[in-house]
Homo-oligomer: A and B are copies of this chain.
Amino acid sequence: MAVLLYDNAFSGNCYKVRLLLTLLGIEFERREVSVVEYGERLATLRGLSPTLNIPAVVLDDGRPLAESNAILWYFAERSRYLSEDPYERGQVLQWMFFEQYKHEPGIAVPRFWDAIAPERFPRPDDLKVRRASGRDALKVMERHLREHAYFVGERFTIADIALYAYTHVAPEAGLDLEPLPAVRAWLGRVAAEPGLIAIED
Protein backbone atom coordinates (compact mmCIF):
# COMPACT_ATOMS: atom_id res chain seq x y z
CA MET A 1 0.00 0.00 0.00
CA ALA A 2 1.44 3.39 -1.03
CA VAL A 3 1.23 6.46 1.20
CA LEU A 4 -1.99 8.35 0.54
CA LEU A 5 -1.70 12.16 0.47
CA TYR A 6 -4.77 14.36 0.87
CA ASP A 7 -3.46 17.15 -1.23
CA ASN A 8 -4.14 20.39 -3.06
CA ALA A 9 -2.13 21.51 -6.08
CA PHE A 10 -2.10 25.19 -5.02
CA SER A 11 -1.25 24.70 -1.33
CA GLY A 12 2.33 25.31 -0.22
CA ASN A 13 1.74 23.20 2.89
CA CYS A 14 0.86 20.23 0.62
CA TYR A 15 3.82 21.00 -1.66
CA LYS A 16 6.19 20.55 1.31
CA VAL A 17 5.03 16.95 1.66
CA ARG A 18 5.09 16.17 -2.09
CA LEU A 19 8.61 17.61 -2.23
CA LEU A 20 10.04 15.57 0.65
CA LEU A 21 8.36 12.30 -0.38
CA THR A 22 9.76 12.75 -3.89
CA LEU A 23 13.28 13.50 -2.59
CA LEU A 24 13.09 10.38 -0.41
CA GLY A 25 11.80 8.22 -3.27
CA ILE A 26 8.67 7.26 -1.30
CA GLU A 27 5.72 6.37 -3.52
CA PHE A 28 2.50 8.23 -2.82
CA GLU A 29 -0.94 8.65 -4.28
CA ARG A 30 -2.49 12.12 -4.44
CA ARG A 31 -6.14 12.77 -3.53
CA GLU A 32 -7.06 16.31 -4.48
CA VAL A 33 -9.13 18.18 -1.85
CA SER A 34 -10.62 21.61 -2.61
CA VAL A 35 -9.30 24.53 -0.55
CA VAL A 36 -12.49 26.48 -1.24
CA GLU A 37 -15.31 23.95 -0.75
CA TYR A 38 -15.09 23.45 3.00
CA GLY A 39 -18.31 21.39 2.95
CA GLU A 40 -16.67 18.26 1.54
CA ARG A 41 -13.90 18.24 4.14
CA LEU A 42 -15.88 16.76 7.00
CA ALA A 43 -16.75 13.67 4.95
CA THR A 44 -13.24 13.31 3.46
CA LEU A 45 -10.96 14.21 6.37
CA ARG A 46 -12.87 13.11 9.47
CA GLY A 47 -10.62 10.75 11.41
CA LEU A 48 -7.57 11.79 9.36
CA SER A 49 -6.97 15.39 10.46
CA PRO A 50 -8.26 16.79 13.79
CA THR A 51 -8.77 20.22 12.16
CA LEU A 52 -10.05 18.79 8.83
CA ASN A 53 -7.15 20.45 7.06
CA ILE A 54 -4.76 19.37 4.35
CA PRO A 55 -2.18 18.05 3.98
CA ALA A 56 -3.04 14.82 5.76
CA VAL A 57 -1.47 11.47 5.00
CA VAL A 58 -2.50 7.88 5.51
CA LEU A 59 0.67 5.85 6.09
CA ASP A 60 1.29 2.49 4.43
CA ASP A 61 0.00 0.77 7.59
CA GLY A 62 -3.30 2.72 7.44
CA ARG A 63 -2.58 5.20 10.25
CA PRO A 64 -3.29 8.93 9.62
CA LEU A 65 -1.09 11.95 10.33
CA ALA A 66 -1.83 15.67 9.84
CA GLU A 67 0.01 19.05 9.99
CA SER A 68 2.54 19.60 7.21
CA ASN A 69 5.60 20.05 9.43
CA ALA A 70 4.76 17.01 11.60
CA ILE A 71 4.50 14.95 8.41
CA LEU A 72 7.89 16.29 7.22
CA TRP A 73 9.49 15.31 10.54
CA TYR A 74 7.95 11.81 10.49
CA PHE A 75 9.30 10.98 7.04
CA ALA A 76 12.66 12.79 7.38
CA GLU A 77 13.76 10.84 10.50
CA ARG A 78 16.93 8.85 9.78
CA SER A 79 17.35 10.56 6.38
CA ARG A 80 19.87 13.14 5.18
CA TYR A 81 17.20 15.86 5.55
CA LEU A 82 17.16 15.78 9.37
CA SER A 83 20.24 15.78 11.59
CA GLU A 84 20.86 13.24 14.38
CA ASP A 85 22.36 15.97 16.55
CA PRO A 86 19.99 16.98 19.40
CA TYR A 87 20.79 20.69 19.20
CA GLU A 88 20.41 20.84 15.41
CA ARG A 89 17.11 18.98 15.73
CA GLY A 90 15.94 21.62 18.21
CA GLN A 91 16.95 24.31 15.73
CA VAL A 92 15.08 22.59 12.89
CA LEU A 93 11.94 22.66 15.05
CA GLN A 94 12.62 26.29 16.05
CA TRP A 95 12.47 27.32 12.38
CA MET A 96 9.49 25.08 11.61
CA PHE A 97 7.47 26.58 14.50
CA PHE A 98 8.49 30.05 13.30
CA GLU A 99 7.21 29.04 9.87
CA GLN A 100 3.76 28.02 11.14
CA TYR A 101 3.38 30.84 13.67
CA LYS A 102 4.72 33.89 11.82
CA HIS A 103 5.60 33.07 8.22
CA GLU A 104 2.74 30.97 6.81
CA PRO A 105 -0.04 33.21 8.25
CA GLY A 106 1.62 36.29 6.69
CA ILE A 107 2.24 34.76 3.24
CA ALA A 108 -0.05 31.77 2.61
CA VAL A 109 -3.15 33.61 3.76
CA PRO A 110 -2.78 36.79 1.62
CA ARG A 111 -1.71 34.58 -1.33
CA PHE A 112 -4.92 32.59 -0.91
CA TRP A 113 -7.05 35.73 -0.70
CA ASP A 114 -5.33 37.30 -3.69
CA ALA A 115 -5.21 34.35 -6.01
CA ILE A 116 -8.05 32.05 -5.12
CA ALA A 117 -10.79 33.63 -3.11
CA PRO A 118 -10.70 37.44 -2.97
CA GLU A 119 -14.32 37.45 -1.75
CA ARG A 120 -13.14 35.79 1.47
CA PHE A 121 -11.41 38.92 2.83
CA PRO A 122 -13.16 39.21 6.15
CA ARG A 123 -12.33 42.92 6.58
CA PRO A 124 -10.64 45.44 4.29
CA ASP A 125 -7.55 46.00 6.47
CA ASP A 126 -6.78 42.30 6.92
CA LEU A 127 -4.74 41.95 3.77
CA LYS A 128 -2.52 44.86 4.83
CA VAL A 129 -2.02 43.47 8.35
CA ARG A 130 -1.23 39.98 7.06
CA ARG A 131 1.23 41.29 4.48
CA ALA A 132 3.03 43.38 7.11
CA SER A 133 3.44 40.25 9.20
CA GLY A 134 4.70 38.33 6.14
CA ARG A 135 7.21 41.09 5.46
CA ASP A 136 8.47 40.86 9.06
CA ALA A 137 8.90 37.09 8.73
CA LEU A 138 10.89 37.50 5.51
CA LYS A 139 13.15 40.04 7.27
CA VAL A 140 13.83 37.51 10.05
CA MET A 141 14.92 35.05 7.34
CA GLU A 142 17.07 37.68 5.58
CA ARG A 143 18.95 38.43 8.83
CA HIS A 144 19.69 34.73 9.36
CA LEU A 145 20.63 34.02 5.74
CA ARG A 146 23.11 36.91 5.60
CA GLU A 147 25.35 34.72 7.77
CA HIS A 148 24.25 31.20 6.85
CA ALA A 149 23.79 29.19 3.63
CA TYR A 150 20.82 27.25 5.07
CA PHE A 151 18.69 27.43 8.21
CA VAL A 152 20.40 24.70 10.26
CA GLY A 153 23.85 23.13 10.19
CA GLU A 154 24.88 24.81 6.91
CA ARG A 155 23.06 22.22 4.85
CA PHE A 156 19.66 21.56 3.29
CA THR A 157 17.14 20.14 5.82
CA ILE A 158 13.37 19.99 6.31
CA ALA A 159 13.61 23.47 7.91
CA ASP A 160 14.52 24.74 4.42
CA ILE A 161 11.70 22.73 2.82
CA ALA A 162 9.17 24.15 5.31
CA LEU A 163 10.30 27.74 4.65
CA TYR A 164 10.85 27.38 0.89
CA ALA A 165 7.24 26.36 0.19
CA TYR A 166 5.68 29.78 0.73
CA THR A 167 8.77 31.99 0.41
CA HIS A 168 9.30 31.14 -3.25
CA VAL A 169 5.70 32.14 -4.05
CA ALA A 170 5.70 35.24 -1.81
CA PRO A 171 5.30 37.55 -4.85
CA GLU A 172 1.90 35.86 -5.43
CA ALA A 173 0.97 37.24 -1.98
CA GLY A 174 2.00 40.76 -3.01
CA LEU A 175 5.34 40.53 -1.18
CA ASP A 176 8.43 41.80 -2.97
CA LEU A 177 11.61 39.69 -2.65
CA GLU A 178 13.77 42.27 -4.45
CA PRO A 179 15.00 43.96 -1.21
CA LEU A 180 16.01 40.57 0.26
CA PRO A 181 19.21 39.44 -1.53
CA ALA A 182 20.16 36.77 1.03
CA VAL A 183 16.69 35.22 0.78
CA ARG A 184 16.91 35.25 -3.03
CA ALA A 185 20.33 33.58 -2.98
CA TRP A 186 19.00 30.88 -0.62
CA LEU A 187 15.96 30.32 -2.89
CA GLY A 188 18.44 29.70 -5.71
CA ARG A 189 20.41 27.19 -3.62
CA VAL A 190 17.25 25.30 -2.67
CA ALA A 191 15.98 25.30 -6.27
CA ALA A 192 19.30 23.73 -7.34
CA GLU A 193 18.93 20.86 -4.82
CA PRO A 194 19.11 17.54 -6.75
CA GLY A 195 15.68 16.03 -7.27
CA LEU A 196 13.68 19.13 -6.32
CA ILE A 197 10.22 19.28 -7.88
CA ALA A 198 8.26 22.47 -8.57
CA ILE A 199 5.00 23.37 -6.82
CA GLU A 200 3.10 22.90 -10.11
CA ASP A 201 4.60 19.44 -10.79
Identify the stretch in A1-9, A21-29, A95-103, A176-184 within 8 Å (CB) of chain B at 4 or more residues: A95-103
A86 partner residues in chain B, CB cutoff 8 A = 74, 77
Provide the A89-112 mask, 1 if CB < 8 A to any CB of B, else 0.
111011111101110110000000
A59 touches B73 (CB 8 A): no
B94 touches A66 (CB 8 A): yes
How long is the Cα–Cα vector from A104 to B110 in the complex, in angstroms?
A: 20
B70 touches A94 (CB 8 A): yes
Instruction: Choose one: B50, B63, B71, B122; the contact of A140 (CB below 8 Å).
Output: B50
Let me know if A120 is at the binding interface, CB within 8 A.
no
A105 partner residues in chain B, CB cutoff 8 A = 101, 105
B122 touches A123 (CB 8 A): no
Let me know if A114 is at the binding interface, CB within 8 A.
no
A90 touches B102 (CB 8 A): no
Secondary structure class of chain A's binding surface, majority of residues = helix
Task: Give the oligomeric copy count.
Answer: 2
The tally of residues in A whose CB lies under 8 Å from a CB in B reads 37
Closest Cβ–Cβ distance, residue A100 to chain B (whole Å): 5
Please give the residue numbers on chain A whose beta carbons come within 8 Å of chain B beta carbons, in ascending order.
50-51, 59, 63, 65-71, 73-74, 77, 86-87, 89-91, 93-98, 100-102, 104-105, 122-123, 125, 129, 140, 143-144
Q: List 29 A-B contacts (CB under 8 A).
A: A51-B98, A51-B102, A51-B140, A59-B87, A63-B87, A65-B91, A65-B94, A66-B94, A67-B93, A67-B97, A67-B98, A67-B101, A69-B93, A69-B97, A70-B91, A70-B94, A70-B97, A73-B89, A73-B90, A74-B87, A77-B86, A97-B97, A97-B100, A100-B101, A101-B101, A101-B104, A101-B105, A122-B129, A123-B123
